[in-house]
Amino acid sequence: MSDVPAPARRPEWDALEQHRAQGLPGLRDLFADDPSRAERYVVYVGDLRIDYSKHLVTDETLRLLRELAAAMDVFGLRDAMFRGERINTTEDRAVLHTALRAPRDAVIEVDGENVVPAVHAVLDRMADFARRVRSGEWTGHTGRRIRNVVNIGIGGSDLGPAMAYEALRAYTARDMTFRFVSNVDGADLHEAVRDLDPAETLFVVASKTFTTIETVTNATSARAWLLEGLGGDEKAVARHFVALSTNAEKVAGFGIDTANMFEFWDWVGGRYSYDSAIGLSLMIAIGPDRFREMLDGFRIVDEHFRTAPPEANAPLLMGLLGVWYNNFHDAQSHAVLPYSHYLSKFTAYLQQLDMESNGKSVDRQGRPVSWQTGPVVWGTPGTNGQHAYYQLIHQGTKLIPADLIGFVRPIAELSDGLKAQHDLLMANLLAQGQALAFGKTPDEVRAEGVPEELVPHKTFQGNRPTTTILATELTPSVLGQLVALYEHKVFVQGAIWNIDSFDQWGVELGKVLAKRVEPALTEGADVPGLDPSTAALVAAYRERRK
């Protein structure tokens, strides 16, 4: 891999720059010239219909982008990932989240060992435990059944299960309470447990490394809360704490019996982990069968990504469209705008997936990149965003490509009256895509009798690109499909930018410095090497805390 030339020094990159410089017609003209793009620029995967017709691309653009992907050997790297090769070179690790959803009879080897039996052994243990908790067979220390599950974790050990719990709320055990604590701000744990009965509460401590300070601190406080509530008997811990980790030694050191630990492996990245043991609290919420349906959904997209030709390969296309704007239109960000209340945490989840993966400024060989890498990913559920920041997307000076995600059917549980609101919700999604793409010309504004001085204010330029992802219903399988779609999109972009999408060294410095600064805050300790600005802030903090 050491001979991989920089993407930006390739003829395929130059060809895209020239193509961009030639200028493309706007979306009104593109559709006028070729209305069939509404059908041709759609790709299907599993239950997802992905419409990319409202992008500033032609057949030629797409061909040139695919040539760049071929030149960067995206599919070669993809195959190496699926084979279990150590493509996370800076950590010398395989990248095998796809093995987490492989069928029982699959063979995927890491260092000559088939990892699939271990994956299913853990899934079976999780299923057994989840069933026991859900049925009341697993009781707390005082014999009461567990009614509350509190997941303690951060980053990939929080965002995935928390997002998926929200997304699949309609499928959850409604007679149980699920909470997710991540922030080391004591307020997070306080609010999560203040109305809970410790005798009925199970803590799921989720940490790949089991060294993450926020998680260990919160878990320690949760333990104290539990023991205080249950009379101080240490034996209670075994009935109220389970761990999800790759690090048995640290789990035991913390005081959780490793018999209550659900394992995963170093070839699962934190942000790719919620379909591993990290999903235990979700599995308790939705039950093992629904969890397996979700894994099936992931697998549908894995298979698609592995086998679909470039022209019809959804993650490849979505990755390439992102590259087109990020690298050839100076777009700085990418909005993900779900038209589903249940997907309220989806974009936050994608922020870690995308930005921790592709927020890099050296390539796989350690050379500084001279091209843009990962975009800022942002967004909230669509209709709320419409009344907040869509103004900037419609009329601001920045180009913000966006994904609009919607469902044909609302969840079955809604009353008929609330179900009737669904068409209005989806009308908003469709209207936004249309307005962003086609805008409103000055002549159209004038034709409405708008005074001339207001015409520029009421004109919409259009040509704001969107992808519309439509599925029938937000089921566990569809959620798995959506997540895998974005996982592989991120993979494609990392491969094109020739960066390691699977390490996260950029989070380390802050962690080290926080440990160093803490004694300065608590004890007023002298911290060697503290810069003058931070030293002044430490002094101001201590002064005001007196």
Which residues of this protein are in contact with ligand F6P, per CB under 6 A?
154-157, 207-209, 212, 215, 270-271, 356, 504, 507
Closer by beta carbon to ligand F6P, 158 or else 200: 158
Closer by beta carbon to ligand F6P, 242 or else 402: 242
Q: Give least dist CB 244 to ligand F6P, A.
A: 9
Task: Give backbone dihedrals phi and psi of 272, rounded to 5 degrees, phi first.
Answer: -115, 25
What are the residue numbers of the active site? Answer: 356, 387, 511
Q: Give least dist CB 271 to ligand F6P, A.
A: 5
Closer by beta carbon to ligand F6P, 313 or else 357: 357
Query: Which single residue is written with the structure tokens 């989070």?
Result: 507
Q: Give least dist CB 258 to ligand F6P, A.
A: 17
Closer by beta carbon to ligand F6P, 293 or else 354: 354
Task: Say how many residues make up the chain.
Answer: 546
Token pair of 428 as six digits: 């908003």
Task: Give backbone dihedrals phi and psi of 261, rounded to 5 degrees, phi first.
Answer: -110, 140
DSSP 156-173: GGTHHHHHHHHHTGGGS-
Closest CA relative to residue 489, chosen from 339, 364, 329, 377: 377
> On the CB side of 346, how many CA atoms lie within 13 Å of its CA?
30
Q: Is the dihedral of CA 469, 271, 400, 29 positive or negative?
A: negative
Q: Give least dist CB 1 to ligand F6P, A.
A: 23
d(CA 205, CA 197): 18
Closer by beta carbon to ligand F6P, 175 or else 508: 508
d(CA 162, CA 541): 33
Q: Give least dist CB 160 to ligand F6P, A.
A: 9
Q: Give least dist CB 3 to ligand F6P, A.
A: 30
Residue 397: how many other CB atoms lie within 10 Å: 5
Closest CA relative to residue 461, chosen from 523, 367, 398, 381: 398
Closer by beta carbon to ligand F6P, 91 or else 303: 91
Token pair of 329 as six digits: 């239109």
Please give, one letter per residue, the 3-state secondary structure of 366-389: CCECCCCCCCEEECCCHHHHHCCC
Cβ 398 vs Cβ 345: under 8 Å: no
What is the rounded (10 degree) CA torsion for 317, 321, 322, 323? Answer: 100
Q: Give least dist CB 511 to ligand F6P, A.
A: 8
Q: Give least dist CB 164 to ligand F6P, A.
A: 15
d(CA 289, CA 287): 6
Angle at 459 (CA atoms; ends 457, 460), nearest 5 degrees = 120
Closer by beta carbon to ligand F6P, 155 or else 288: 155
Buried b (16+ CB within 10 A) or exposed e, 495-532: bbbbbbbbbbeeeeeeeeeeeebeebeeeeeebeebee
User: Which amino acid does the sequence have at 399?
Assistant: L
